[in-house]
A and B are shown apart, each in its own frame.
Chain A
């Protein structure tokens, strides 16, 4: 199960509490996303130096080498990257597929579990044509705030 989980590319919600707007943690989240993008586009293992170079090429703000290493190892710990030794450094490769494929894969694997629907509490279930008609009538009658 861990295998396909690692393939989910996730834009982790930042500061999404009851009332908080997206806030202080955004820089870190965006950086991770950018690094992941670089690695996914490359399609092969990259060392931190190569990742840093690729980020520069994309016209993004220059980063310290240590920052890139930190982000890469964090992503590795989260299971989004695999790494292998290349000389004295590591080369990182994106485990993630395109996120859409990953999301579909997650759903498919969970579908294989016969009790998926009972275990996951879905926000809304499916609507029949009759349901939709009733629903629209209910919502139509209620004035939008």
Chain B
């Protein structure tokens, strides 16, 4: 069990280091699917590994050992990890579970609220124009989803730029990006090491919507200019600045790292990214190894407990 149980806990380190880079190098649609899947797989594999480590410690507690008819001596002898490490793993596993449940509840509540909002917004059409001078535009997921744009934003853009914006937001709703983001953030809640991965998923959904908008309007430079213009508008509007500082700053920022907007504009001003089969294969390979390691750890745990049980019977 020794190696198998630690692998799923180390893989997220690899993910944290490479997530941002992968999101830039891969085509956005692929990147979103792969990175979101990676986040979920690594979270589950990590959870299994932690539980495996924790179980050996918990089972050595006399009342638990008595209840399960497990020999404490055998468990201690075959224990893959020291008791201290297993106790740490127990705490981590519990924290991860609590965080996952809490995040899931909060997210469901937020999504339900959003869907209700979307339904209650006046007007029969998908688009809702809010009389508000603060430039702002966003998609509200729901059944049906709505696109909200403030008059501040609406009036500042010309018809071509508005078409870019609507196509972008419509792509968010059609492709259900909120689900990818929710899955990745749920995974990140269980393991903080996965936070860069979740941020990368968020970024690649924006890129995905940008590319869809560029295809829909058939004008990549226009799409790039619209994104840039909208960002500069928001930055320079007094009320919007507060919003930007508190709510919308990109989460994952190095000292010299550029935020998502300039990177999106730069990507749109360059030709589309060509698919990278090698990267896809590599990612899937790492995920398969992590998942296999978790399964192996669980199997070994099962064998260990069988041994311990047999020892008491004898």
Contact = CB atoms under 8 A, between A and B. Distances in A.
B222 A145 contact: yes
B128 A13 contact: yes
A120 B230 contact: no
A10 B123 contact: yes
Interface residues of chain B: helix, strand, loop or mixed (majority):
helix
Chain B interface extent, by class: 35 or more
Contacts of B234: 124, 126-127
Given A12-B125, A142-B221, A125 B131 contact: no
Contacts of B132: 99-100, 103-104
B247 A111 contact: yes
B261 A145 contact: no
B133 A10 contact: no
B211 interface: no
Given A107-B243, A119-B110, A122-B248, 12 more contacts: A8-B122, A13-B123, A99-B130, A100-B132, A104-B132, A110-B113, A113-B113, A116-B247, A119-B113, A121-B209, A131-B231, A134-B262
A60 interface: no
Interface of A: 1-2, 5-6, 8-13, 16, 18-19, 21, 78-80, 99-100, 102-104, 106-107, 110-111, 113-128, 130-132, 134-136, 138-139, 142, 144-145
B138 A120 contact: yes
Contacts of A11: 129, 131, 151
A121 B178 contact: yes
B37 interface: no
B56 to A, nearest CB: 36
Interface of B: 106-107, 109-111, 113-114, 116-117, 120-125, 127-134, 136-141, 149-151, 153, 159, 162-163, 165-169, 172, 177-178, 181-182, 185, 202, 205-206, 209, 216, 221-222, 224-225, 227-232, 234-235, 241, 243-245, 247-250, 253, 256, 258-262, 265-266, 269
A6 B120 CA distance: 8
A131 B258 contact: yes
Nearest to A137: B262
A56 to B, nearest CB: 25
B213 to A, nearest CB: 10
Given A1-B120, A8-B122, A123 B138 contact: yes
Contacts of B131: 9-11, 99-100, 103
Contacts of A130: 256, 258-259
25 contacts: A1-B113, A5-B120, A13-B123, A13-B125, A16-B127, A18-B216, A115-B107, A116-B110, A116-B247, A118-B182, A118-B202, A121-B139, A122-B248, A123-B138, A125-B250, A126-B248, A126-B249, A126-B250, A127-B231, A127-B235, A127-B244, A134-B262, A135-B231, A138-B228, A142-B221
Contacts of A126: 234-235, 241, 243-245, 247-250, 259
A10 B122 contact: yes
B259 A131 contact: yes
Contacts of B182: 118
Among all A-B residue pairs, the 7 with the closest Cβ atoms:
A126-B244, A12-B123, A99-B131, A103-B132, A115-B110, A121-B172, A124-B231
A124 B125 contact: no
